[in-house]
C-alpha cells in the first residue's frame, strides 16, 4: 500500500480474503446489533491493506463493542474498561512494525476512558481508534451514556438524564487530533472509505461510528438513516467541495460574518464554505462538528473532518533512541554500572 500509516508493517505473502480475518469464535452480539455491520466491513476491508495478518493487533476496552477482537483472526486483547488506548500506546510505541487498532464505545472511550482518549490524540500515537457510538450503555443493560441526549429516559434516569452530551468530534478536535472522521454502521461504502483513510493516516485516527443498539436505544440514528428524512439532515463532507446537503443540494453552509459561526443557508449561496480536511487550523472543522443538534443529531456531518500531518509519538520516540546511539554509541552496561567515581579495594 505504501500509506504512511502502515509504513514499516510487513506485507502479506499472498492475497488474503475476509475469511482469513474471521476467527473461529461464535459472534455473540444481539441479533440485529449494528456491531455486525462494522465487523463485516472491517473483515472485508482489511485484506485490501495487504498487511501480514500477524502484524495486526486489535485492542479493546470493556463494553459490547469491545468483544470485537475475539472475532478477528489477528492478535488481540480485550482489556479493561476505558484503558485500551493506554495499552495500545505502549504496544505501538514499542513495536513500530505493528498496525494497532483500538475498538471502543461511547461509555468506554468518553466516560471512564476520557482522559486516555484525549491524551492518545494529543500524542498522536500511530493508532486507529474506532469509537462505536450508540449513545447508551448496552452491556450493563441500558443506562444513559456521555453521548446520550439530555432528558434521556433510561433505567438510571427514570425522570430523564440531566447532562449535556459530549460531541466526540468536537472533543477530538479540541484534543489536537490529527485525523477525525464520522461514519454510520449502515452505510458500508462510506464506512469502508473512512476506514481506509484512517488506516492510511500516520498518527492517531479517530473514527466515530454511529452504531445502532437495537435493544436499549433502537432507532437512535433513524433520522440519519431513513430514506425519507436523511437527505434533509445528513451532511456528507467532501474534501475540496463546498458544504452542501439536501436531496438536490438545496441547502448549504456558510459562515456568519458577525459571529464567525457556521449556519445553514441555501445551496446556491455564494458564500458556501469549502471543506478542507488539510487545514492546519481546526477552527472550521470544529465549527462543522457543532452543526449537529445535540438532541436529534439533525444536520450531522459525516466524513473526514480533519486529516493533517504531525509526527507520530512512536516515531519520535524511536528517533530519539536512534539519535542517542548515533551520538554516543550503543550502551555498554559494564561502563554504566561502573560510573565515574569508583575506588578499588586491594
Partner 1 sequence: MQLTGDRFTAEAASFGNDLSTLPNFPAEIRAPAGTLPGVSSFQLHFANYDILTPGDAPDVLVAMNPAALKANLPDVPKGATIIVDTGDFTPRALKKVGWDTNPLEDSTLSAYKVHALDLSGITMEALAPFELSRKDASRSKNMFALGLLSWMYGRSIDGTVRFLQEKFASRETIRDANIAALKAGWNYGETTEEFAVSYEVKPAAMPAGIYRNITGNLALAYGLVAAARQSGLPLFLGSYPITPASDILHELSKHKRFGVRTFQAEDEVAAIGAALGASFGGALGVTTTSGPGVALKGETVGLAVSLELPLVVVDVQRGGPSTGLPTKTEQADLLQVLYGRNGESPVPVVAASSPSDCFDAAIEAARIAVTYRTPVFLLSDGYLANGSEPWAVPDVDALPTINPDFAHELNYDGDGEHAFWPYLRDPETLARPWAIPGTPGLEHRIGGIEKLDGPGTISYDPSNHDRMVRLRQAKVDGIAGIPDLQVDDPSGEARMLVLGWGSTYGPIGAAVRRARKAGHNVAQAHLRHLNPMPANTGDVLKSYDRVLVPEMNLGQLALLLRGKYLVDVVGYNRVRGLPFKAEELAEVIVEEVGSL
Q: How far is the CB of 268 from partner 1 (least distance, A)?
A: 47
Q: How far is the CB of 59 from partner 1 (least distance, A)?
A: 7
Which is closer to partner 1, CB of 159 or CB of 321? 321
Burial of 334 per CB tally in 10 Å (0-12, 13-18, 19+):
exposed
Burial of 128 per CB tally in 10 Å (0-12, 13-18, 19+):
buried
Which is closer to partner 1, CB of 62 or CB of 304? 62
What is each CA distance from 296 to 150, 170, 312, in whole angstroms? 10, 17, 36
Interaction site with partner 1 (CB under 8 A): 10, 23, 25, 52-57, 59, 62, 69-70, 72-80, 83, 85-95, 97-98, 115-116, 119, 317, 320-321, 323-325, 327-331, 333-334, 336-339, 341-346
Q: How far is the CB of 340 from partner 1 (least distance, A)?
A: 8
As a whole number of angstroms, the distance between CA 299 and CA 262 comes to: 12
Q: How far is the CB of 235 from partner 1 (least distance, A)?
A: 33
Which is closer to partner 1, CB of 178 or CB of 300? 178
- Contacts of residues 284-289 at CB distance under 8 Å and 24 or more positions apart, as own/partner, are 285/173, 285/180, 286/170, 286/173, 286/174, 287/255, 287/260, 287/261, 287/262, 288/235, 288/237, 288/243, 288/253, 288/262, 289/167, 289/169, 289/170, 289/173
Q: How far is the CB of 260 from partner 1 (least distance, A)?
A: 32
Which is closer to partner 1, CB of 121 or CB of 285? 121
CA nearest to 308, candidates 278, 287, 281, 282: 278
Which is closer to partner 1, CB of 274 or CB of 316? 316
The SS3 call for residue 295 is coil
Which is closer to partner 1, CB of 69 or CB of 105? 69
Q: How far is the CB of 45 from partner 1 (least distance, A)?
A: 18
- For residue 234, give the C-alpha cell: 445528513
Amino acid at each position: 500500500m505504501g500509506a504512511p500509516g502502515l509504513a514499516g508493517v510487513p506485507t502479506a505473502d499472498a492475497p488474503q480474503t475476509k475469511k482469513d480475518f474471521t476467527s473461529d469464535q461464535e459472534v455473540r452480539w444481539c441479533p440485529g446489533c449494528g456491531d455486525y455491520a462494522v465487523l463485516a466491513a472491517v473483515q472485508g476491508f482489511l485484506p485490501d491493506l495487504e498487511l501480514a495478518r500477524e502484524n495486526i493487533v486489535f485492542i479493546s476496552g470493556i463494553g459490547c463493542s469491545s468483544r470485537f477482537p475475539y472475532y478477528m483472526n489477528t492478535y488481540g486483547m480485550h482489556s479493561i474498561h476505558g484503558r485500551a488506548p493506554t495499552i495500545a500506546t505502549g504496544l505501538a510505541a514499542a513495536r513500530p512494525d505493528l498496525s494497532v487498532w483500538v475498538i471502543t464505545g461511547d461509555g468506554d472511550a468518553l466516560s471512564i476512558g476520557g482522559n486516555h482518549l484525549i491524551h492518545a490524540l494529543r500524542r498522536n500515537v500511530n493508532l486507529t481508534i474506532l469509537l462505536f457510538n450508540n449513545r447508551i450503555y448496552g452491556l450493563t443493560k441500558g443506562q444513559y451514556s456521555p453521548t446520550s441526549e439530555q432528558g434521556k429516559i433510561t433505567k438510571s434516569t427514570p425522570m430523564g438524564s440531566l447532562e449535556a452530551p459530549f460531541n466526540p468530534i468536537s472533543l477530538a478536535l479540541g484534543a489536537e487530533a490529527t485525523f477525525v472522521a464520522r461514519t454510520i454502521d449502515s452505510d458500508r461504502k462510506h464506512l469502508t472509505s473512512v476506514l481506509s483513510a484512517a488506516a492510511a493516516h500516520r498518527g492517531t485516527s479517530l473514527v466515530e461510528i454511529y452504531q445502532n443498539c437495537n435493544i436499549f436505544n433502537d432507532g437512535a440514528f433513524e433520522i440519519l438513516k431513513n430514506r425519507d428524512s436523511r437527505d434533509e439532515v445528513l451532511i456528507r463532507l467532501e474534501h475540496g467541495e463546498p458544504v452542501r446537503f439536501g436531496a438536490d443540494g438545496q441547502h448549504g453552509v456558510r459562515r456568519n460574518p458577525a459571529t464567525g459561526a457556521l449556519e445553514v443557508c441555501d445551496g446556491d449561496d455564494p458564500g458556501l464554505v469549502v471543506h478542507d480536511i488539510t487545514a492546519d487550523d481546526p477552527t472550521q472543522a470544529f465549527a462543522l462538528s457543532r452543526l449537529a443538534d445535540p438532541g436529534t443529531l439533525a444536520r450531522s456531518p459525516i466524513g473526514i473532518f480533519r486529516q493533517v500531518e504531525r509526527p507520530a509519538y512512536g516515531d519520535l520516540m524511536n528517533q530519539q533512541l536512534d539519535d542517542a546511539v548515533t551520538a554516543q554509541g550503543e550502551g555498554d552496561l559494564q561502563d554504566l554500572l561502573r560510573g565515574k567515581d569508583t575506588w578499588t579495594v586491594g
